[in-house]
């Protein structure tokens, strides 16, 4: 339970302090009007302490007569320090009494005054200490039974100050007055005061600092004050820090990345490497035909090479050497030259179908690497083995 009480008190304190920090500062003035209703702690028929420097009206029917009392007054003060003001007040008081045992009506008026101090504790609790009396200290007798003695009070008080703005506060309060006259009629009063605080001004608000004082030299929409990439590439989308976006985190900004959502490599413009199946490639072009003793590919083999080109384009980072092989018929020099030309012819065809230059190289092996080595001479084995020795294959680099 205590923590809730503390929390409420802290919130109330912060609220009040925020409201009055300008109102009660040193050098300001205040004007206050208050009214109160007395509760007498001892003594009877006491009305003389009501007025002082408040606005009041009081009427009572005493056993020996009737009494009416009213007062009009105001107080002023000056803040000698933050939250602490010296107070002085003047009031006009009017007393009318009618005795039941005598005829006629008596009337007294007098001017009262007050001096004291007022302190706003925690910015919201006005504490007061003051002395009030009248300029006329004569002991009057209004009637035989009703006596009037001018007021002399030393009072202490406390209350709460509500600040609807910096210049006005509404202050309910209680006060205890010690009667310094011979009648010793101490008094407890409760009342409500209205205070105007003069000189309170709103603290001038400095113009906000330019958040983009350094400009935006790369025109990416992010101020250079907090831009972490100066300059960012022209046309690139950037994050809140001015850094070019790299959605897939592959080190290639989205502006230059053809595969934005998949990590890739720079040579493929941000697309991933895809490994080709070497065996599939070789099997695809297996049995391609050339004109007799020439490097001219027969049209009947084009579909095989077209299929091989599509495979190679799907894995552009894979590099291959195209090897041409012959059987053992003819001279070594002739076979070497023919295998070179045929390997190169396959390379040219594939590049013509869109395979990247540099992905392929071509080399002729002649009869140096027979698949069936027993076919040398060629007449030493069946013809299907010689046919298998005449081949073009892919070898991954």
Integer Cα distance of 31 and 171 in angstroms: 13
User: What pLDDT was estimated at residue 140?
Assistant: 45
CATH number listed for the domain at residues 2-198 = 2.40.160.20
Distant-in-sequence, close-in-space partners of 325: CB < 8 Å, separation ≥ 6: 339, 365, 366, 367, 369, 370, 371, 389, 390, 391, 392, 393
Assign 179 a pLDDT band (cuts: 50, 70, 90): confident
Q: What is the mean pLDDT of residues 138-161?
A: 63
Q: Is the pLDDT of residue 276 over 80?
A: no
Integer Cα distance of 328 and 372 in angstroms: 10
Fold of the domain built from segment(s) 278-396? 60s Ribosomal Protein L30; Chain: A; (3.30.1330)
DSSP secondary-structure letter at 244? B
Residue 45's nearest CA partner among 126, 166, 148 is 148
Integer Cα distance of 191 and 180 in angstroms: 22
Q: What is the mean pLDDT of residues 355-365?
A: 90
Q: What percent of the chain has pLDDT over 90?
A: 16
Cis peptide before 231 (omega within 30 of 0): yes
SS3 267: helix
Cα angle 134, 136, 139; round to 5? 110
Residue predicted with more confidence, 153 or 296: 296
Cα angle 217, 218, 220; round to 5? 120
Q: Which two tokens stand for residue 131?
A: 């002395």
Q: What is the mean pLDDT of residues 221-242?
A: 87
Out of 29-43, 291-305, 337-351, give the one with best mean pLDDT: 337-351
pTM of the complete model: 0.44
Q: Which two tokens stand for residue 48?
A: 């003389």
Q: What is the mean pLDDT of residues 321-344?
A: 91
Pairing of strands 65-81, 29-40: antiparallel
Contact 360, 346 (CB under 8 A): no
Contact 363, 346 (CB under 8 A): no
Mean pLDDT computed over every residue of the chain: 79
User: What pLDDT was estimated at residue 16?
Assistant: 45
Q: Is the pLDDT of residue 15 over 80?
A: no
Element containing residue 74 per DSSP (H, E):
strand 65-81
Assign 204 a pLDDT band (cuts: 50, 70, 90): low
Assign 145 a pLDDT band (cuts: 50, 70, 90): very low
Residue 308's nearest CA partner among 267, 342, 349 is 349
Of the candidate ranges 55-64, 139-148, 295-304, the one whose mean pLDDT is the lowest: 139-148
Of the candidate ranges 199-213, 271-285, 355-369, the one whose mean pLDDT is the lowest: 199-213
Integer Cα distance of 137 and 177 in angstroms: 18
Integer Cα distance of 146 and 151 in angstroms: 15
Integer Cα distance of 247 and 265 in angstroms: 14
Q: Tell me the β-bridge partners of 177.
A: 155, 187
Helices 332-352 & 302-314 angle (0-180, nearest 10) = 60
User: What pLDDT was estimated at residue 99?
Assistant: 63
Q: Which two tokens stand for residue 223?
A: 């101020």
Q: What is the mean pLDDT of residues 339-345?
A: 93
Q: What is the pLDDT of residues 56-93, one digit of tens each?
A: 776 766 556 676 767 777 888 998 998 999 999 888 77
Q: Looking at the chain, which residues constitute the CATH 2.40.160.20 domain(s)?
A: 2-198
Residue 188's nearest CA partner among 88, 41, 307, 58 is 41
Assign 5 a pLDDT band (cuts: 50, 70, 90): very low
Q: Looking at the chain, which residues constitute the CATH 3.30.1330.60 domain(s)?
A: 278-396
User: What pLDDT was estimated at residue 190?
Assistant: 81
Residue predicted with more confidence, 7 or 106: 106
Residue predicted with more confidence, 103 or 346: 346
CB crowding 49-69: b at 16 or more within 10 Å, else e = bbbbbbbbeeeeebebbebbb
User: What pLDDT was estimated at residue 13?
Assistant: 45
Q: Tell me the β-bridge partners of 93.
A: 71, 110
Residue predicted with more confidence, 375 or 199: 375
Contact 242, 231 (CB under 8 A): no
User: What pLDDT was estimated at residue 203?
Assistant: 56
Residue predicted with more confidence, 244 or 179: 244
Q: What is the mean pLDDT of residues 131-160?
A: 64
Q: What is the pLDDT of residues 301-327, one digit of tens each?
A: 899 999 999 988 888 878 889 999 988
Contact 140, 108 (CB under 8 A): yes
User: What pLDDT was estimated at residue 20?
Assistant: 61
Q: Is the pLDDT of residue 43 over 60?
A: no
Which CA distances in Å does 160 have to 32, 44, 166? 14, 30, 16
Contact 298, 290 (CB under 8 A): yes
């Amino acid at each position: 339970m205590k923590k809730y009480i503390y929390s409420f008190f802290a919130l109330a304190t912060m609220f009040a302090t925020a409201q009055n920090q300008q109102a009660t500062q040193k050098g300001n003035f205040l004007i206050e009007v208050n009214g109160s209703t007395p509760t007498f702690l001892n003594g009877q028929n006491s009305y003389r302490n009501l007025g002082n420097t408040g606005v009041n009206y009081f009427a009572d029917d005493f056993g020996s007569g009737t009494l009416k009392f009213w007062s009009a007054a105001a107080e002023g003060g000056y803040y000698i320090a933050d939250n602490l003001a010296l107070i002085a007040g003047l009031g006009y008081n009017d007393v009318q009494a009618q005795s039941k045992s005598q005829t006629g009506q008596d009337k007294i008026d007098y001017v009262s005054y007050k001096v004291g101090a007022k302190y706003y504790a925690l910015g919201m609790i006005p504490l007061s200490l003051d002395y009030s009396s009248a300029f006329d200290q004569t002991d009057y007798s209004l009637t035989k039974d009703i006596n009037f003695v001018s007021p002399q009070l030393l009072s202490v008080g406390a209350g709460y100050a509500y600040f609807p703005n910096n210049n006005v506060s509404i202050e309910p309060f209680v006060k205890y007055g010690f009667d310094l006259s011979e009648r010793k009629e101490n008094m407890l009063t409760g009342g409500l005061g209205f205070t105007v605080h003069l000189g309170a001004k709103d603290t001038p608000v400095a113009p906000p600092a330019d958040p983009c004082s350094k400009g935006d030299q790369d025109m990416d929409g992010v101020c250079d004050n907090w831009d972490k990439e100066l300059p960012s590439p022209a046309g690139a989308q950037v994050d809140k820090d001015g850094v070019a976006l790299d959605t897939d985190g592959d080190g290639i900004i989205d502006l230059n990345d053809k595969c934005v959502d998949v990590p890739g490599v720079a040579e493929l413009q941000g697309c991933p490497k895809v490994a080709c199946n070497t065996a599939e490639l070789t099997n695809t072009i297996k049995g391609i035909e050339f004109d007799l003793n020439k490097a001219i590919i027969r049209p009947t083999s084009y579909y095989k090479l077209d299929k091989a080109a599509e495979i190679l384009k799907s894995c552009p980072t894979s590099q291959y050497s195209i090897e041409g092989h012959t059987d053992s018929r003819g001279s070594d020099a002739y076979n070497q030259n023919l295998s070179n030309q045929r390997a190169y012819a396959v390379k040219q065809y594939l590049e013509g179908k869109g395979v990247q230059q540099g992905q392929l190289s071509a080399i002729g092996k002649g009869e140096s690497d027979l698949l069936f080595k027993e076919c040398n001479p060629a007449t030493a084995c069946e013809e299907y083995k010689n046919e298998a020795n005449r081949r073009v294959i892919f070898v991954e680099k």
